Structure 1
Amino acid sequence: MTSIESVSRSDLEQRRKMLRTHRRLKMLQAAWQTLAVGGMLGGLVWATTQPIWVLQEPSQVTIEGNQLLATPAIKSLLPVSYPQSLLRIQPEAIAHSLESQPTIAAATVTRALFPPGLRVVIKERIPVAIAYIRPPQAVTTDVQANMGFVDADGVWIPFQTYATQSSNLELPQLKVVGPWERYHSYWSSIYRSVSRSPVKISEIDCQDPTNIILKTELGIVHLGAYSTRLTQQLHVLDQMRQFPQQLNLSQIAYIDLSNPDAPAVQMNQ
Structure 2
Amino acid sequence: MTETTMATREQLREQRKQKQRQRTLRWFQGLWRSLALMGLAYGAFWVLDRPDWIIKSAAQITIEGNQVLPAERIRPLIPLTYPQPILTLKPQELEQAIEAQGAIAEALVSRRLVPPSLAIQVQERYPVARSQTPISSQGQSPLESGYLDAEGQWFPAAVYEPLSEYQPLPTLEVTGIRELQLPLWPELYQTLGRSPVKILSINWRDSNNLILNTELGSFHLGPDLTQLEAQLAAIAKLQQTLGTTIPAQDIQYIDLQNPDEPIIQSNKPIVPPVPKPETP
In the comparison of the two structures, how many residue pairs are matched?
A: 250
Task: For 2:172, give the aligned amino acid.
Answer: K
Provide Cα deviations, 1:93-142, integer angstroms capped at 9, x if missing partner: 4333323212233434344434333333333322223x266xxxxxxxxx
Q: Residue 151 of structure 1: CA displacement? A: 0.5
In the other structure, the counterpart of 2:272 is none
In the other structure, the counterpart of 1:214 is 213
Task: For 1:251, give the aligned amino acid.
Answer: P
Note if contact 2:91-2:109 (Cα within 8 Å) is conserved in structure 1: yes
Q: Residue 39 of structure 1: CA displacement? A: 0.4
Counterparts in 2 of 1:39-58, with a 5 A limit? 39-58=39-58
Cα 1:6–1:80 shift into 2, 3 Å: same
Task: For 2:255, give the aligned amino acid.
Answer: D
Output the CA distance in 1 between the equivalents of 2:48 and 2:261.
Answer: 73
Cα 1:21–1:84 shift into 2, 3 Å: same
Output the CA distance in 2 between the equivalents of 1:178 and 1:21.
Answer: 83
Output the CA distance in 1 between the equivalents of 2:240 and 2:21.
Answer: 106
Q: Any gaps of 5 or more consecutive residues in structure 2? A: 133-143, 269-280
Cα 1:266–1:179 shift into 2, 3 Å: closer
Note if contact 2:231-2:259 (Cα within 8 Å) is conserved in structure 1: yes
What SS does the corresponding residue of 1:59 show, helix, strand or coil?
helix
Q: 1:155 and 2:153 equivalent?
A: yes
In the other structure, the counterpart of 2:70 is 70
1:204 corresponds to which of 194, 201, 204: 201
Output the CA distance in 2 between the equivalents of 1:260 and 1:44.
Answer: 70
Counterparts in 2 of 1:13-162, with a 5 A limit? 13-129=13-129, 131=130, 149-159=147-157, 161-162=159-160
Task: For 1:188, give the aligned amino acid.
Answer: P
In the other structure, the counterpart of 2:247 is 251
Q: Residue 244 of structure 1: CA displacement? A: 5.3
In the other structure, the counterpart of 2:139 is none
Output the CA distance in 1 between the equivalents of 2:36 and 2:100.
Answer: 43
In the other structure, the counterpart of 1:138 is none
Q: Residue 182 of structure 1: CA displacement? A: 9.2
Note if contact 1:204-1:214 (Cα within 8 Å) is conserved in structure 2: yes
Output the CA distance in 2 between the equivalents of 1:167 and 1:121.
Answer: 22
RMSD over aligned CA atoms reads 3.5
What SS does the corresponding residue of 2:236 show, helix, strand or coil?
helix
Q: Tell me the TM-score normalized by structure 1.
A: 0.73
Output the CA distance in 2 between the equivalents of 1:177 and 1:6.
Answer: 101
Output the CA distance in 2 between the equivalents of 1:236 and 1:180.
Answer: 20
What SS does the corresponding residue of 1:248 show, helix, strand or coil?
helix
2:189 corresponds to which of 185, 188, 191: 191
Cα 1:214–1:230 shift into 2, 3 Å: farther
Higher relative contact order (CA 8 A, sep 6+): 1
Cα 1:9–1:127 shift into 2, 3 Å: same
